[in-house]
Structure 1
Amino acid sequence: MALCLFVSIFLWQGAASASGGLVPEDPMVRVSYVPTDLDVVSVLASVSKDVSKATGLKESFITYYWQTFDAIVYEGKNIDRPLFVDLYVPGFFSDDDVQGLMVALADALEEHTGVDKKWIFIHTHFPLPGQVFISGEVTDWDVYRGKPNNDPRDIAERALDKFLFNDGAFVFQSLWRFGLTATGGADMGELLTITSQVKDFDKESWYRAWHGMAVKVRSMALEFATSGHAVSAQEAYLRASNYFRASCIYMYNTDPRGFTAWKNGRDAFLKAAGLSNGRIKPVRIPYEKTTLQGYFVTPDNSGKKRPTLLIQTGLDGTAEDLYFIIGTQAAKRGYNCLIFEGPGQGATIHEQKIPFRYDWEKVVTPVVDFVLKQPQVDAKRVALLGYSMGGYLVPRALAYEKRIRWGIVDSGVYSVFDGTMTKFPAEVRKAVEASKDKDIVNALAATEMEAHPELDQFISQMLWTFQAPTPYDLFKKLQKFTLEQSIGKITAEMLVANSSQDQVAGSAEQGRIFYNALQAPKTFLEFDASQGGQFHCQLGAPMLSSERLLNWLDERAKP
């Protein structure tokens, strides 16, 4: 029915009742129409009798009213239709009762007013589904109000790999950050506010949106701390840390705002640690002529000897990230956790400019030396967990560091070089292996990076963390990052986690290659789309991931 403009001044002609008497609990029928020559009292009396006969309701049960519109105007013209009926019904009426009454009213009004039923509009005063009579039949409001302007989104467009953005790198990072709501790293309302301000493929808007919320939440944390609300302050500082971290993810070492945002994020986490009653302790681990940053996380301050999980990231994570991803969950189960950042990671690359190294045992051995000096660590129950490129770094360390009893990788990486080459044309690999055509390699790499935002983010991060001036130089360095000569030396029992649709540097396939080559006692655990764990390191599903990984370790370390 076309939209009408109603200019109405209700000219009450009194309550025209067929039976007299008003009982507030009884049904009421209010008819509204344009000025007419009809004898409305006679009309309502006749309608009352007909409705009573059709429905079996006594006439004394229903009160009828008639009111008059001054005019009904449609397309600038005065018209004499439709006729409106507002129906008040008691709560004990069933849907069938209501619909039967509407049909009886329509029939009677058509008979006694001469108005065609298709121009009689009846609805209950607070209409529920099935309580509207329009265009000659009972219908629903959903049908009456018409279809939405936009068609429903296809289910494929609502899949995880389309989460919020078309920019694959934005999808990756958003899944990561949204997942941390489960462990205190974010709040859904804040996240949706942030992402609503991000323009697809626009990294500057990404930075502004995340950084703006980080500043706001940090200010709130300071307010809480100042007013003595330590728990709220810690929670807000943790979220601010995550938001600062997300804001600088695309800035690396090229924009000074990136370093400032990273440092603000770490400082916010340190503020939160200071409010943890000693359960999150910042540490400095002696390493060669410097130190590595880390956090020693404990379930309590009892000093009880416990199994200890060493946790490290891969290419682009930080120690603060790992606290949310698994550290807080491991501590709940009774583990000590030493979360650390090695060369190429976190503070070590940001502040010291120390790049990744392939002989990762030179990093992990000092970490083990440090942790075994902690009085609450049971030296016989130490495990090492590595994410992403940590799937190469951890096995490499385990091949030579024998004080670690269990190893977990998510996922395994047999060759960092092989995995990276899956993202480029075959001629890139051939040229790198032949140590020639450097300019061609760099040109081909630039073309692929420009076409694929997520690849651009991945390679740009590697150029910085490996301190390589060009893609060609990076690829030459990556050739050393292989387990070919060391995987046979691993004796620690290992869990190899994998994600079925992980396409970051061929990770899904690399995980299978690694597992098949591993000769030590081993377990293979694959996550898939049935619970949203199909992407790299189960992005967006940290609870699902940590539950399965820690269950495996619980059965062995028995915290």
Structure 2
Amino acid sequence: MFEFFPGDHVRSSSVNLALMAGGSLADIGRWLGPLRDTPEAGLDAWAAAWAGMAHQQEALAAGDVRAGYLAAAGRRYLRASVYHATAQRQIPPGPTKSESYAASLQAFGNAMDCGALPLVRVHVDSPDGTLPGYLIAPDAADPRPVVIVYGGLDLTKEMLYATVGAAFARRGITCLVIDTPGTGELIRLRGVPSRPDYEVPTAAIIDHLQARHDVDARHVAVLGVSFGGYYAARSAAFEPRVSACVSWAGSWDCGALWRRRWDEAEAEPTSWFLPWVTGTGTIEEALERLELWTLADVWPRVTQPLLIVHGENDREIPVADARRAFEAAGSADKRLHVFAAAGGGAEHIQSDDPAPALDLIAEWLSLRMPVLPEPPVPALA
């Protein structure tokens, strides 16, 4: 993996995620370069560098707006949204995190106001309250199948959009990026933690889709990114209306995985994170609650077409977990694709080379999701 901060996997992975979502290496080099020479610099310096990067893009975008260059302004605002979102990822809950997240939402809204993002806002009623999201629709006269995209433990719908863009729409599939329990607005603005039974929000989302006239909700796939792979698999196992499942990083037993990472001190730099996402008070309570996030007995219930995409050198979820998941899955139509280091994309969610993985996922789904209207059933004589 490209390590902007040599030997610092946590900060380097955040850089790669920002690049994956459309960030500029030139911007990152200018604003984060000084931090490489000051390893003692803390979270305040980290947040300030990303904020400066974002504010610069916003100032340039404002100039584009004054000149009438709305498409250019929209792209800059979207990049600023990514930078603000990256600033808050490693910051514990508090004023700095809240300000960075609010700034990310504002910049994304500015991009939408410029008409640069072909999105439709949606609000889904659910047992956890309203779930906000964006529909990315193909340019088609008729309703198309839908893929619901779930982020992992720290992605937002805005970052998801910046990552997947129009990859599915180009192939005739409507895409829904959405904040759900433990992610985005729900955890940051309303304090709604994650939940192990993710079929509950998935059912609410499909109910909403079935009530719409601009999508074909007879065919709804789920795609989970990173630990969202758990959400996708769990949804497919217990929500029969899911027609296909993609785990972009194959999950097996999140509780056991995080227990190991904590015991080996891998998770200590973000010790606040697990209690925050799980709605618990201490790290030990969080680890105990995470024992419910296991797919060991769930994968056999997944019978829909299944794709698991993983990296050979994944340092977040071991590739062995993806192989166990693949073997246990009950799907007759299933594929495991492991990106190897020699060809690129070997890191977690292929953050070192994401385009081939996204193309693979979109192409695989397009072959399993009917994109043409089905003929009407003839009436009985």
TM-score, scaled relative to structure 1: 0.63
Q: Distance in 1 between matches of 2:236 and 2:165?
A: 21
Q: Distance in 1 between matches of 2:113 and 2:212?
A: 20
Cα drift, residue 273 of structure 1? 2.1
Aligned residue in 2 for 1:497 = 309
Unaligned segments of structure 1, at least 5 residues: 1-159, 426-447
CA contact (8 A) 1:326 1:542 kept: no
Q: Distance in 2 between matches of 1:393 and 1:299?
A: 25
1:157-556 matched pairs, under 5 angstroms: 160=1, 162-180=3-21, 185-198=22-35, 199-200=38-39, 202=41, 203-253=43-93, 255-276=94-115, 279-288=118-127, 290-300=129-139, 302-425=140-263, 449=265, 452=266, 455-504=267-316, 506-521=317-332, 522-556=334-368
What amino acid sits opposite 1:399 in the alignment? A
CA contact (8 A) 1:322 1:339 kept: yes
What amino acid sits opposite 2:18 in the alignment? R
Cα drift, residue 209 of structure 1? 1.0
Q: Distance in 2 between matches of 1:545 and 1:200?
A: 33
Q: Distance in 2 between matches of 1:218 and 1:353?
A: 29
Give the count of matched residue pairs: 367
Q: Distance in 1 between matches of 2:182 and 2:194?
A: 4
Q: Distance in 2 between matches of 1:502 and 1:298?
A: 32
Aligned residue in 2 for 1:113 = none
Q: Distance in 2 between matches of 1:201 and 1:167?
A: 12
Cα drift, residue 458 of structure 1? 4.9
- SS of equivalent to 2:166: helix
Cα drift, residue 509 of structure 1? 2.0
Cα drift, residue 479 of structure 1? 1.0
Cα drift, residue 361 of structure 1? 0.7
- SS of equivalent to 1:482: coil
Q: Distance in 2 between matches of 1:552 and 1:277?
A: 28
Q: Closer, same or farther in 2 for the Cα pair 1:194/1:328, shift >3 Å?
A: farther
Percent identical across equivalent pairs? 25
Cα drift, residue 459 of structure 1? 4.2
Cα drift, residue 396 of structure 1? 1.0
CA contact (8 A) 1:270 1:282 kept: no
Cα drift, residue 299 of structure 1? 2.7
CA contact (8 A) 1:411 1:497 kept: yes
CA offsets 1:359-394 (integer angstroms, 9 cap, x no match): 111111001111222323123332110011112111
Q: Distance in 2 between matches of 1:498 and 1:249?
A: 23
- SS of equivalent to 1:307: strand
Q: Closer, same or farther in 2 for the Cα pair 1:266/1:334, shift >3 Å?
A: same
What amino acid sits opposite 2:331 in the alignment? A
CA contact (8 A) 1:341 1:348 kept: yes
- SS of equivalent to 1:295: strand
CA contact (8 A) 2:57 2:76 kept: yes
Cα drift, residue 415 of structure 1? 1.1
CA offsets 1:22-64 (integer angstroms, 9 cap, x no match): xxxxxxxxxxxxxxxxxxxxxxxxxxxxxxxxxxxxxxxxxxx
CA offsets 1:48-101 (integer angstroms, 9 cap, x no match): xxxxxxxxxxxxxxxxxxxxxxxxxxxxxxxxxxxxxxxxxxxxxxxxxxxxxx
Q: Distance in 2 between matches of 1:210 and 1:172?
A: 14
CA contact (8 A) 2:78 2:111 kept: yes
Cα drift, residue 530 of structure 1? 2.0
What amino acid sits opposite 1:323 in the alignment? Y
TM-score, scaled relative to structure 2: 0.90
Q: Which has the higher contact order (CA 8 A, sep 6+)?
A: 2
Q: Closer, same or farther in 2 for the Cα pair 1:217/1:279, shift >3 Å?
A: same
CA contact (8 A) 1:166 1:200 kept: no
